[in-house]
Amino acid sequence: MTIRPLRFLGDPILRTPCDPVVRFDDALARLIADLLETVQEPGRAGLAANQIGSSLAAFSYNVDGRVGYLINPEIAELSGTQSGPEACLSIPGVSAERGRGAYAVATGVNLRQEPVSVAGAGELARCLQHEQSPAIKRGASASCSPPLRVFWNSVPRAVVCRPPQVLQEAVRRRHH
């Protein structure tokens, strides 16, 4: 297992929809192990595979002592509403108010290709919804709140990824 470096705003892999997982092999097992180790760094609740450089549809979560992963995730159920600040590890130092379902059920499979279901309310529900978006149909900007998405989509695709401090400064300049 390895704690992998994060990909930041401007990295093309974050704008690209993830590929469904079709090969369940040692490489996938290493990716999942890395996702699980990387998401357990302090201050992290969820991590999509594209945020560590993989184009595969998978994510890990670490919320209130619950740590796990889903491969080929989908949101199966949403109910209620909640609103609160939400951030993205790939856009450090920036958060925005975002409405989400108060309760969510996400489904997928594990490394043995067995069906898995993860259900939760509050922060876990928010995490499941946030991480499922880039892991499935859209790039990472899809899971961002509208203000973050406007900023995200305004960055040219050719921008080279920058360290978090540079991104934070760019955000401050843009909004002042």
Residue 122: inside a domain, yes or no? yes
Question: Mind listing the pLDDT tens digit for each residue in 45-63?
Answer: 999 999 999 999 999 999 9
In three-state secondary structure terms, 62 is strand
Residue of 42, 51, 57 lying closest to 13 (CA atoms): 51
Band (pLDDT 50/70/90 cuts) for residue 16 is confident
Residue 7: inside a domain, yes or no? no
Question: Mind listing the pLDDT tens digit for each residue in 33-42?
Answer: 999 999 999 9
| pLDDT number for residue 170 | 52
Domain that holds residue 44: 12-174
| pLDDT number for residue 133 | 76
Active site residues: 131
Q: Does pLDDT of 65 surpass 80?
A: yes
| pLDDT number for residue 157 | 37
Residue 102: inside a domain, yes or no? yes
Q: Does pLDDT of 156 surpass 70?
A: no
Question: Mind listing the pLDDT tens digit for each residue in 120-139?
Answer: 999 999 999 999 876 554 44
What's the domain count of the chain? 1
Integer Cα distance of 22 and 19 in angstroms: 9
Residue 6: inside a domain, yes or no? no
Q: Does pLDDT of 175 surpass 80?
A: no
Question: Which helix H or strand E contains 129, and what residues bound it?
Answer: helix 123-135
Residue 65's domain is classified under what CATH number?
3.90.45.10
How far the first Cα of the chain sits from its last, in Å, is 41
Count Cβ atoms below 10 Å from residue 171 Cβ, excluding itself. Answer: 17
What number of helices (H) and strands (E) belong to the chain?
A: 4, 7
Residue 48 has which token pair? Answer: 């999509």
Residue 1: inside a domain, yes or no? no
Residue 4: inside a domain, yes or no? no
